[in-house]
């Protein structure tokens, strides 16, 4: 009988956390790359990276770790994500725009979600935190994007921009995530609230836009998206 993958991931999580306490970036990188190679993106994100982020956050709140550890682990994880993000080529590749709405500053979970979509053969274009709705709309049109995913912790981040979300939803699938999205009484038509489970959420986005030849789509989408999103 071979080794239990869950045990390997638990050990990786413990070692990444230990390296984080020591601010040992090289070890964090090596451990994550090993986990990614052996267990894949989904398992590494959900069983190693996200638990470490939560543990660091909890330790900071209790005073057991400092703000330096939060900044360190965020930077270390982003560095590994950058190494993974090789260009996705071919007409079958789909494009997704990721962004956090205005005044939403925590984009690392969204970047991790982007890595999971990238592993599903999506071209991921991230606008990062605090992105104006005008920029999000412009990016989707310029890229002839197949989908957009917005994440935020505040309900007002979405509630104040329902008209913009509705306009985007008329031209491409729009997905919203995070505590702010879940707090909405009802999303606009064409807008889907993603589940908390990242693997399930990636499956929802992936199933919404099957891989296909998109050669004839940009002109049609440009026509449908004539009204810009604002907010």
H-assigned helices in the chain: 5-21, 25-44, 50-62, 67-84, 108-118, 133-143, 155-159, 162-169, 179-182, 198-208, 217-224
In terms of domains, do 29 and 141 share one? no
In terms of domains, do 100 and 79 share one? no
CATH number of domain containing 47: 1.10.1240.10
Residue 229 belongs to some domain of the structure: no
In terms of domains, do 64 and 142 share one? no
Which pLDDT does position 175 carry in this prediction?
98
**For residue 55, what are the domain limits?**
5-84
Which pLDDT does position 221 carry in this prediction?
40
Residue 152 vs residues 1, 101, 140, 197: alpha-carbon distances, Å: 44, 7, 19, 15
Three-state secondary-structure class, residue 148: strand
Q: Based on the structure, what is the number of domains in the chain?
A: 2
Three-state secondary-structure class, residue 186: coil
Instruction: Tell me the C-alpha distance between 141 and 156, whole Å.
Output: 25
What residue ranges of the chain have pLDDT lower than 70? 1-6, 88-92, 212-231
- Percentages helix, strand, coil for the chain, rounded to the nearest 5? 55, 10, 35
pLDDT in tens, 60-71: 999 999 999 999
Which pLDDT does position 3 carry in this prediction?
53
Neighbour-count burial for 204-225, b at 16+ CB within 10 Å, e otherwise: bbbeebeeeebeeeeeebeeeb
Which pLDDT does position 4 carry in this prediction?
58
- What single DSSP character describes residue 187? P
In terms of domains, do 32 and 112 share one? no
């Amino acid at each position: 009988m071979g080794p239990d993958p869950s045990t390997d991931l638990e050990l990786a999580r413990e070692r990444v956390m230990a390296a984080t306490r020591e601010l040992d970036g090289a070890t964090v990188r090596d451990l994550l790359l090993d986990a990614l190679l052996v267990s894949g993106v989904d398992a590494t994100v959900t069983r190693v990276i996200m638990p470490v982020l939560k543990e660091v956050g909890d330790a900071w709140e209790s005073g057991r770790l400092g703000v330096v550890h939060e900044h360190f682990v965020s930077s270390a994880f982003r560095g590994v994500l950058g190494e993974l993000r090789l260009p996705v080529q071919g007409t079958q590749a789909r494009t997704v725009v990721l962004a956090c709405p205005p005044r939403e500053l925590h984009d690392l979970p969204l970047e991790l979600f982007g890595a999971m979509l990238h592993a599903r053969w999506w071209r991921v274009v991230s606008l990062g935190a605090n992105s104006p709705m005008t920029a999000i709309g412009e990016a989707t049109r310029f890229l002839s994007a197949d989908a957009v995913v917005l994440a935020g912790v505040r309900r007002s981040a979405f509630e104040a921009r329902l008209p913009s979300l509705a306009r985007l939803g008329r031209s491409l699938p729009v997905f919203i995530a995070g505590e702010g999205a879940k707090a909405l009484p009802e999303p606009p038509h064409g807008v889907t609230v993603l589940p908390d489970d990242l693997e399930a959420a990636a499956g929802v986005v992936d199933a919404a836009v099957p891989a296909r030849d998109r050669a004839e789509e940009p002109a049609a989408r440009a026509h449908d998206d004539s009204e810009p999103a604002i907010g």
